């Protein structure tokens, strides 16, 4: 097996485990069993858990933000773009056994257990999402499809917080139905 293939498998396993169990619920032993390699092989690629988290957050943020940028670049109406953005979170929650949440939501809940580079990466992910939401909300205000009151930046933070936190609550309640309803209500409020 190629080194890059092994590295990707390690990252895939770690991401799945963290999205379901949290960073403190994931160990190199767990990854070893999933990937079918020795723990020493994982340490070859990622000497410390912090190294693994930094690589994982880089990959996750890059992929997620590229998808969001793709949504924003379309000629779709702002409401459609916002719905597609929200659907990214809903799809994560609905995947597998409906126990996964956004990687950065899970890591944000465990922020005090992380070291500096990972903490900054999570914060950067949050800021990047809010910045993109500001752009989307302003476009919706300009074309008249969004008529919410209040500051655009605060509304962007509200939307992102609702999606990240809503995933955790839906998972704790064991149902995704309410999460979908919350998204629909959010869209109604934004449209005014």
Residue range 94-143, pLDDT digits in tens: 887 778 999 999 999 999 988 889 999 999 999 999 999 999 999 999 99
Average the pLDDT over each of 31-40, 63-72, 87-96, 154-163 and give the range with the smallest value.
Answer: 87-96
Which of 103, 1, 11, 16 is CA-nearest to residue 55?
Answer: 11
pTM for this prediction: 0.92
Could you tell me the end-to-end alpha-carbon distance of the chain, in angstroms, rounded to an integer? 55
Q: Give the domain 54-191 fold.
A: Tetracycline Repressor; domain 2 (1.10.357)
Q: How far is the CA of 144 from the CAs of 4, 135, 172, in angstroms?
A: 48, 14, 37
CA 154 – CA 152 distance, rounded (Å): 5
- For residue 130, the tally of other CB atoms under 10 A from its CB is 19
Residue range 128-142, pLDDT digits in tens: 999 999 999 999 999
């Amino acid at each position: 097996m190629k080194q890059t293939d092994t590295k990707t498998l390690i990252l895939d396993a770690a991401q799945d485990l963290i999205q379901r169990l949290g960073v403190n619920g994931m160990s190199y032993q767990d990854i070893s069993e999933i990937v079918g390699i020795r723990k020493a092989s994982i340490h070859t690629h990622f000497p410390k858990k912090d190294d693994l988290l930094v690589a994982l957050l880089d990959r996750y943020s890059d992929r997620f933000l590229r998808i969001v940028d793709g949504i924003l670049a379309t000629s779709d109406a702002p409401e459609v773009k916002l719905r597609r953005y929200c659907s990214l979170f809903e799809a994560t929650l609905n995947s597998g056994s409906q126990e996964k949440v956004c990687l950065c939501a899970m890591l944000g809940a465990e922020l005090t257990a992380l070291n500096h580079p990972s903490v900054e990466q999570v914060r950067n992910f949050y800021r990047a999402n809010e910045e993109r939401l500001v752009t989307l909300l302003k476009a919706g205000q300009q074309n008249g499809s969004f008529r919410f009151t209040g500051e655009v930046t605060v509304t962007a933070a509200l939307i992102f917080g609702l999606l990240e936190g809503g995933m955790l609550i839906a998972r704790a309640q064991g149902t995704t139905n309410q999460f979908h309803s919350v998204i629909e209500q959010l869209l109604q409020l934004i449209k005014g």
